[in-house]
Chains A and B, each alone.
Chain A
Amino acid sequence: METPAHVGFLRHHRYRYLKIGLILCALSLLLYAIHDPIDGPNGGTWLGYGLGSIGAGLILVLSWLGIRKRRYRGGLGQVKGWLSAHVYLGLALVIVGTLHTGFQFGWNVHTLAYVLMLVVITSGVYGIWAYAALPERITALRRGQTRDAMLAEMAELNRQSIAVAQALSSDIHRAIARSIGRVRIGGGVIAQLFGPAEPARQDFDDLNRTLNVRADTLLAGQRAESEAESTVMFIAGQIVKRSGRDEDEAAHIRQLLDILGRRKELVSRINQDIQLHARMQIWLYLHVPLTLALLAALLTHVISVFLYW
């Protein structure tokens, strides 16, 4: 049988943990359905204690991933196996935990633990989606370049644009220098998640418009005769100096527009890259702290339940 070069964490070991999770859920649901305690389903029946123990055990095992993945020297199984188990057993925990409650909720530490568990799992579900869907989009977006390479290329474009602008009027040079200062890459949490603030784009559009108007004015006279001239010529910066300074300036502006266009595309890609990365990571800032809160609530839940048995 052909072994694929890479098997994702969701399909690890031919869905071993998906199967284990499903069996666990099915068993829990079956027992819950046939179990009929005298005072209604609750956490204090034999099934309640059983589901509670399994749930608490699962929470500990699932939390251990945070430690296991940092142990590069290894341990039991691959990290990928741990992640696969983490995902599927974590999803099964929703069923196990919910049935453990017997649907009895209140303003107490027990329901707090349950709610924390649900929030942690919900953020984890987002994480599954993020890890399954976003890396492909990042790869497609980067086209083989690294983030640093893109940033370096942007710097190069900035340098080029300044160099070209030097040959033009001081107004344009100033505008270009200002536009370089206003390029927005990344930023705070919100900017990273939803893209940088609008003014930078506004600036770019303004500058673009100014340059276009200027170039159109310059070229208005000669447009008729240069109709045959291909745009490629402009792009390649091969404008033949036929009609003196105006054409020269127009060519430089074309070049500048080209650089700015490329930079705009690049900045947009960098920001998208930042955005995708941020969206792939953000859930962990909820998942991890709330997991610790959950562990504290779980500990309190177990101690208080048996303290006042």
Chain B
Amino acid sequence: MKTLIRRMQSQKGTIAFSNIPLETATVRIGRGTEQDVEIADPRIALAHAEITPMPDGTFRLDAKTPSGVWVNGTPCSARALQVNDILDFGRFRITVMKPEAGSDLTLLVEERADAVEEKPAEIAATRLEETWLSRRRPAWVAFIVVLLAMLLLPLVLRYAGSKDPATQMKMAALPLVPTQTAWNSGPLSSAHAYFETDCAACHVQPFKQVRNNACLACHDAVRHHVPDAAMAALPDFSAAACTDCHREHNGPDGTIVRLASLCTDCHENLQARFPDSTMGKVGDFATHHPPFSPVLTQFDKATRSFKAEPVVQEHGVALREDNGLVFPHNLHLDTKGIDAPDGKRKLECSSCHEPDRGAVGFRAVSMERHCADCHRLEFDPDDPTRVVPHGKPAEVAAVLRDHFAAKALDRQQVKTLGSALPAAPERRRPGPPRTPAEREFIAQWSATQGDAVVREVFEGRLCRYCHVVEPTNDPKLPWDIAPVALQEHALSAAAFTHAPHADTACVDCHAARTSKLSSDVLLPDIGNCRACHGDVGGKKQVTSTCLDCHSYHVDQGVLWDPGATRRKTLGAQRHPKLITPRGAS
């Protein structure tokens, strides 16, 4: 179709027409620049309407927007066009003219001066920027509030306020007051919970990591890893920081890191650093841990004393130690019971091995408390209440001799002894002294009788029952008892406590029921422990760390820092209640 577009423009008061001939299939009207009739009005869609020729020679208008096209003051979406129809497109008006010569359709496009761009007079906000919402102001407010509450105020309270720890702690306890507790990276261990609000107790210098001195101010009794000062001075030990192993702010469970690698780092191959070391290599507990080396006693006959030395306890090798006693565990633990003065008595381990008060170890077995009930020290069947003193061989002989001397003085008793000694006068009248014959008789009888009983006591039925009795050349005390050494704790490098094992039967670990000799070492070997205890990460056993048995700090030896005591007074000034010993003020 051929279309003539007549554009009417007013310029500086004069009206100008421009004719634009088009030859297109349709006439497209819209704001887009590719449109046949371009309408520069923002209210108009890019493609707003389209005029299509109909087969009957008329033209049809189709609106391309849902709001339609205003034709003769009425909106419509499609209609047949007629001459003189007025199409309104915003401030532009298109009039359908009588077709001029050479064209099928003539459109007059004019810009109406009177049609100003209308905007609704009162319209609410249509953009978020027009509401109360803002980005910049809240941003600054948030920035300043956070900075003030979290950084500046705590800083001021910390460094410009009271330096007194008590005051600072009181302040930290106040709700909603921004203090340095906001910086606490995690709860302290329960041991240090008291200092939770006194950061400076440990963080002494700003921007410096916590130093050993801060710890040693209180922990002045801490010992080194090695027993002697020369070793402790080696950089391996002197450069160690408390915080290498003791990590804080990790919750109440404690500051002690129980990681095996902290120990095995060195102990896996200690000889690499200390070639002279005789310590075994330790990589883990389950497979790379040397056998136990219990300290066992050996009796040295020459010096008549015990020597205690560690002996490697290889698996399956029975160890012996000297203790100077004769004690078969198997007899005492006979499940049928053993003879006692009041009949059969069934003994348990705990009959003799009583846990100590702390339930850590056991009270020493004592003759008086545990043995004497059955093993009575009587020596005279006529007088079963008389016993020899235990543990004092010299006194034993004296007591026996005195006993029989006294007995000899009592004629009645001498008679009842039924001795083959020479007959004594029937009765002695009171008053006159004993005759020489009488005195001779008494001395002889008591000496003979006494010596016989002393021999019997030492060599026969009493002492030798449990002790090693050795003859001496001393006529006054012809026998002596071999020294006794009762072992208490054989594993010097490890701290074993029985308490966690209380629910296990003693005989599960200690082969007491089959032990016939008192020299049997009943300490179980490491294989016994490994039956239940395994390394961290194992799933079928009790996970056990190095620290379950060992301690990094040696029991005895050099203090970590001999100057710590001096610093303790500084610590005492800071927290007098905590550090001053009880009773001191």
Question: Which residues of A are in contact with B by a Cβ distance under 8 Å?
Answer: 38-40, 42-44, 104, 106, 108-110, 112, 143-160, 163, 184-189, 191-192, 196, 232, 235-237, 255, 258-259, 262, 265-266, 269-270, 274, 277-278, 281-282, 284-285, 288-293, 295-297, 299-300, 303-309
Contact = CB atoms under 8 A, between A and B. Distances in A.
| 3 tightest Cβ-Cβ pairs between the two chains A and B | A144-B46, A39-B247, A293-B142
B72 A237 contact: yes
Given A145-B65, A149-B41, A189 B47 contact: no
30 contacts: A38-B257, A38-B262, A39-B250, A106-B186, A108-B183, A109-B182, A144-B47, A144-B48, A146-B42, A148-B42, A149-B42, A149-B44, A149-B90, A151-B123, A152-B118, A155-B118, A157-B67, A186-B123, A188-B125, A189-B133, A192-B125, A196-B124, A262-B68, A265-B66, A281-B128, A289-B142, A296-B147, A296-B151, A307-B203, A308-B203
B274 interface: no
Given A39-B257, A152-B90, A274-B126, A293 B43 contact: no
B73 A163 contact: yes
A198 B301 CA distance: 111
Contacts of A278: 127-128
Nearest to B47: A144
B533 to A, nearest CB: 21
Contacts of B119: 148, 151-152, 155
A108 B184 contact: yes
B135 interface: yes
Interface stretch (B74-82, B362-370, B482-490): B74-82
A256 B257 CA distance: 84
Contact of B183 (A236, A259, A265, A308): A308
A235 B134 CA distance: 46
B32 interface: yes
Interface string B69-108: 0111111111100000000001000000000000000000
B36 to A, nearest CB: 16
A293 B145 contact: yes
Nearest to B80: A236
Nearest to A274: B126
A45 B329 CA distance: 55
Contacts of A146: 42
Contacts of A38: 245, 247, 257, 259, 261-262
Contact of A187 (B42, B124, B136, B247): B124
A106 B182 CA distance: 10
Interface string B238-254: 00000001010010000
B73 A186 contact: no
Given A158-B120, A277-B127, A292-B142, A43 B185 contact: yes
B199 A308 contact: yes
Contacts of A157: 67, 75
Given A143-B45, A143-B65, A262-B68, A304 B183 contact: yes
Nearest to A186: B126
Interface residues of B, dominant DSSP: loop
Contacts of A290: 142
Given A236-B74, A285-B133, A309-B203, A296 B142 contact: yes
Interface residues of B, number: 78
B243 to A, nearest CB: 10
B186 A104 contact: yes
A258 B72 CA distance: 15
A230 to B, nearest CB: 11
Contacts of A110: 183, 185
A158 B141 CA distance: 44
A252 B129 CA distance: 41
Contacts of A307: 183, 203, 206-207
Contacts of B74: 160, 236-237, 255, 258
* Residue of B123, B135, B150 most packed against chain A (CB within 10 A): B150
A191 B131 CA distance: 11
A189 B128 contact: yes
Nearest to A183: B120
B515 to A, nearest CB: 43
Contacts of A143: 45, 65-66
B401 interface: no
B124 to A, nearest CB: 4
A303 B158 CA distance: 14
Interface centre among B31, B76, B119, B259 (most CB of A within 10 A): B76
Contacts of A151: 119-120, 123, 126
Contacts of B154: 304
Nearest to A144: B46
Given A38-B247, A157-B67, A289-B139, 15 more contacts: A39-B247, A108-B181, A145-B65, A148-B119, A186-B126, A189-B128, A265-B67, A266-B67, A270-B126, A288-B135, A290-B142, A292-B139, A293-B145, A295-B143, A300-B150
Nearest to B187: A106
Most A-side CB within 10 Å, residue of B66, B71, B144: B66
A309 B208 contact: yes
B56 interface: no
Contacts of A282: 128, 133
Nearest to A105: B186
Nearest to B46: A144
A299 B147 contact: yes
Interface in B479-533: none
Given A157-B75, A265-B67, A309-B210, A289 B138 contact: yes
Contacts of A293: 139, 142-143, 145-146
Contacts of B259: 38
B91 to A, nearest CB: 9
Given A188-B125, A292-B143, A296-B147, A156 B183 contact: no
Contact of A155 (B120, B125, B138, B257): B120
Contacts of B184: 106, 108
B32 A144 contact: yes
A54 B78 CA distance: 63
Contacts of B426: none
A141 B550 CA distance: 76
Contacts of A42: 250
Contacts of B131: 188-189, 192
Contacts of B125: 186-188, 192
Contact of A262 (B32, B67, B133): B67
Contacts of B203: 307-309
Contact of A309 (B46, B123, B142, B209): B209
Contacts of B245: 38
Nearest to A233: B79
Contacts of B150: 109, 112, 296-297, 300, 304
A157 B123 CA distance: 15
Given A236-B74, A236-B76, A285 B128 contact: yes
A304 B151 contact: yes
Contacts of A309: 203, 207-210
Contacts of B342: none
B30 interface: yes
Given A145-B45, A289-B135, A185 B143 contact: no
A189 B124 CA distance: 11
Residue in B71, B74, B180 with the greatest tally of chain A CB atoms within 10 Å: B74
A160 B78 CA distance: 19
Looking at B30, B136, B142, the one whose CB has the most chain A CB atoms below 10 A away is B142
B183 A109 contact: yes
Contact of B144 (A259, A291, A296): A296
B42 A300 contact: no
B117 interface: yes
Contacts of B261: 38
A100 to B, nearest CB: 12
A235 B181 CA distance: 75
A2 B145 CA distance: 52
A43 B186 CA distance: 11
B128 A192 contact: yes
Contacts of B72: 237
